[in-house]
Amino acid sequence: MNDVLSNISILTRGIQSFPALPAVVARILELTSDPESSVDDFLDMIQCDPSLTAVVLKLSNSAFYGQVRNVGSLKQAISVLGINEIRNVVVARAVFNSFKQIDHGGRFDIRSFWLHSFICGLTAKILAGEDASADDFFIIGLIHDIGKLVLLNALPLSFFEVIENHSGKPYDLFHCEKSVLGTTHADIGMALLKRWMFPDKLVKAVGFHHAPEKSGKPETIPALIYFADMVSYLTPSTDPGELDALLSDPLNQSRADLAGILWDEVSLSGYLNELNLRKDEARETFALIYS
């Protein structure tokens, strides 16, 4: 009990000591939540940052966004990508840059961590389908595991103990965290995002992405991120026994209803095939934003 209390105290201090994200993140979140904002508002914000401008222009011409014509102006690029996608790019670059220095003697690959997070965001959009909130799902998928970085920074020995002792699947790691640390990366991520003043729906989705039914009321987004996290670790060649176990789990069936997705063999195969088709383009897009 004393160890658990000590860990939580250390993690609380770790959250409080984390630097704030750049002001541009607060501004982009403000603009995207304001129905009165215009393309010109985003143009004014982006063109002050030459490197961000270059990334937005390149992305607007990328295959990942289905572009077949040349986009030559920043204003046109913003219109092509849409304001929510611009928000995703700004937030992604900010969180990537905030944590690039994490290394711990080569024991932790920060680039691989963010690549998985990016793929999780893509998976969330695939699962969301035509849902109007699909862009929100992407950004939540991108930051769903951010609490792991707080754990790594504040309690590196315990963090690596969790990694080394965990014998299950990557999407089940939080069980081992709870046993060793007394808390999980989801709890820590939720506390960090509150400190950064992220919108409540993003905070709750990160905090409950391993237990969406505990979010206080029926919530679609945490449940969908739960599946996005899981599916992003799977491939069409994943052991059929593992897939069968995930499909037959009654809890997964109830969570699928909560997420508003189909959870059966045919649907899962479709999710995995689409994800597999889009992964190469996603990696190229990630590399562009991460650079």
Q: Which domain holds residue 188?
A: 2-290
Residues 6+ apart with CB under 8 A from 244: none
pLDDT at site 231:
96
| pLDDT of 135 strictly over 80 | no
| pLDDT of 65 strictly over 60 | yes
User: HEC states along 83-138?
Assistant: HHHHHHHHHHHHHHHHCCCCCCCCCCCHHHHHHHHHHHHHHHHHHHCCCCCHHHHH
CA distance 250 to 248: 6
pLDDT at site 242:
93
Question: What angle is formed at CA 118 by the lines to CA 12 and CA 116, rounded to 5 degrees?
Answer: 75
Output the average pLDDT for the chain. Answer: 86
CA distance 194 to 201: 11
CATH number, position 27: 1.10.3210.10
Over residues 196-217, mean pLDDT: 88
Over residues 60-87, mean pLDDT: 78
pTM (two decimals)? 0.89
CA distance 23 to 27: 6
Question: What angle is formed at CA 112 by the lines to CA 107 and CA 118, rounded to 5 degrees?
Answer: 150
Instruction: Give the model's confidence band at 68: pLDDT under 50 very low, under 70 low, under 90 confident, else very high.
Output: low
Please give the tally of structural domains in the chain.
1
Torsion of CA 28, 33, 35, 41, to 10 degrees: -10
Instruction: Give the model's confidence band at 143: pLDDT under 50 very low, under 70 low, under 90 confident, else very high.
Output: very high
Q: What is the pLDDT of residues 4-19, one digit of tens each?
A: 667 778 887 878 877 7
